[in-house]
Structure 1
């Protein structure tokens, strides 16, 4: 079997496994799927390489954490991540802005500033709790917003994810290269908003401290905000207990120093965003996406967190 055919076979096998699980949890109720996802992730997660990544990241960000606290936090993290997967096909069951909603929103008056008016904003957040709740809340409220995302490596899996998000009104956009950046600028120029995650590694971003350790951070949101004199609108979501119940917070937006040179303004903005993300993580560390390689391996080595 050639390399190309072998890769295709593996991708199809991945797709089959994903869709088998997807159809199973889709047939459940929201709470059943959330609980099933948690049980599955708590059993499987510790045997993956991502578990080790999460452990080192936690030690780097929280150097005083004890081994007992670390084990407890890792288990709670897998519980949350499993729930995210289980809840994904059921976002319409959250009943946004209805009397039986699973989502309460603090700062709704701030979000409403972007409804109907041609006042673009650059929405930024991180992978907190069930992060899919945030873009759903934005678009369900009537904000004209395009949500950026990184496509899944498997095209068949990605297609299902995109369709699922479209079912609850989220229009996705995967910016690639210079043309992607131009497309984002066109959206903002027409008065639309864009939403981005700003808490993961971005190889071509700027270097800035995150929990006291330098790492590459996306500067795109800050550059777009500077270009269009737009606010950086932060939002966060928290899971309320071990269930599919959430609280979304819409904070007062960050405004950049538009009268300073762009590179200086962007560097200051990236640092401020990182500090904001740090603060939010420490409020509920078990609800953040620790499994991503946020810092370079050298940072782990220098901090002595590797076993």
Structure 2
């Protein structure tokens, strides 16, 4: 019911106002949801090595609510009804295309590693505008109706791959890379239970991280290009960075490297990450002995 109400509101307001409405709702959620807010502020302070009463923690969490709720409503608006591609492209600046060109010249496609930071859907539009075919790996959101994300992406010519379909999704990703496509994935919210992934320390919590993206990179030999969010306003600004070095060790070591890159990016700009996403925020803080892998201690995989 809430989804239908927001959808109706966005249709009346249009894409150009969706972000503003989202920031208002983010502000409201931050102020009203005091119980979750207090829990998040404590966890964020521990993750960032700050005092729990540090006012900067509250400020960055407030900004994270505003930025990411604005992004969610923008994405809903652009996927609900096809928008002008020129208008969408004007809402986002994308640097680092030279890294994409170099990666794609290898003929194996490329894996784009993003995070829940801002409107990443606009990055796919920019890549499509630059002439590259794009596939997006997604999970159905509980707040949205079934098929909404898939049909919304496909109206822009983006291939939508449902991650929940298991081995079928993996086969689709592998085929997409063989076809020379860019496959967009995210790692930063884990996948649920430890039985379904590899447990790694992430922002102070032990999370079960999907081994799928790392395994995909090893099987396809496609480079993994991380995406960093730089600016939220007046337009979104992202940067595609050089590939993460993978494949020289175990699969678990590769998952660790991808996890560390994602974590380091969030630590650089914590005000842009969706701390209130349903999975990380409900996990307990881990004991003070970090999980490490042989041969990975002391490496900075985010640089």
Interval containing the TM-score (normalised by the shorter chain): 0.7 to 0.9
- Of 202, 207, 225, the residue aligned with 1:210 is 202
Find the aligned partners of 1:70 and 1:96 in 2 and give their Cα distance: 34
State the Cα distance separating 1:81 from its structure 2 match. 1.9
Could you tell me which residue of structure 2 aligns to residue 33 of structure 1? 18
Could you tell me which residue of structure 1 aligns to residue 114 of structure 2? 125
Is residue 226 of structure 1 aligned with residue 218 of structure 2?
Answer: yes
Say whether the 8 Å CA contact 1:147–1:196 is kept in structure 2.
Answer: yes
Residue 50 to residue 162, structure 1, CA distance change in 2 (3 Å): farther
Say whether the 8 Å CA contact 1:125–1:235 is kept in structure 2.
Answer: yes
State the Cα distance separating 1:196 from its structure 2 match. 0.5
What pairs with 1:164-203 in structure 2 (closer than 5 Å)? 164-175=152-163, 176-203=165-192
Q: Secondary structure at the match of 2:69?
A: helix
Find the aligned partners of 1:38 and 1:237 in 2 and give their Cα distance: 18
Q: What are the ranges of 5 or more consecutive residues in structure 2 without an aligned counterpart? A: 289-303
Residue 169 to residue 271, structure 1, CA distance change in 2 (3 Å): same
Could you tell me which residue of structure 2 aligns to residue 237 of structure 1? 229
Say whether the 8 Å CA contact 2:134–2:181 is kept in structure 1.
Answer: yes
Q: What are the ranges of 5 or more consecutive residues in structure 1 without an aligned counterpart? A: 1-12
State the Cα distance separating 1:295 from its structure 2 match. 6.9
What pairs with 1:149-160 in structure 2 (closer than 5 Å)? 149-153=138-142, 157-160=145-148
What pairs with 1:26-175 in structure 2 (closer than 5 Å)? 26=14, 30=16, 32-48=17-33, 51=37, 54-67=40-53, 68-88=55-75, 89-90=77-78, 92=83, 95=86, 101-113=90-102, 118-153=107-142, 157-175=145-163
Say whether the 8 Å CA contact 1:162–1:172 is kept in structure 2.
Answer: yes
State the Cα distance separating 1:224 from its structure 2 match. 0.6
Could you tell me which residue of structure 2 aligns to residue 24 of structure 1? 12
Residue 232 to residue 103, structure 1, CA distance change in 2 (3 Å): same
Say whether the 8 Å CA contact 2:43–2:285 is kept in structure 1.
Answer: no
Residue deviations 1:258-296, cap 9 Å, x none? Answer: 5x4xxx1x2222222222112211222111011132277
Residue deviations 1:4-61, cap 9 Å, x none? Answer: xxxxxxxxx24432322332332xx62x332222112211344346545643441331
Q: Secondary structure at the match of 1:185?
A: helix
Q: Secondary structure at the match of 1:256?
A: coil
TM-score (norm 2): 0.79
| RMSD of Structure 2 on Structure 1 (CA) | 2.9
State the Cα distance separating 1:194 from its structure 2 match. 1.6
Say whether the 8 Å CA contact 2:113–2:225 is kept in structure 1.
Answer: yes
Find the aligned partners of 1:144 and 1:62 in 2 and give their Cα distance: 38
Q: Secondary structure at the match of 2:180?
A: coil
Say whether the 8 Å CA contact 1:94–1:102 is kept in structure 2.
Answer: no
Find the aligned partners of 2:218 and 2:100 in 1 and give their Cα distance: 20
Q: How many residues align?
A: 277
TM-score (norm 1): 0.78
Runs of 4+ in 1 over 4 A off after TM superposition: 90-94, 114-117
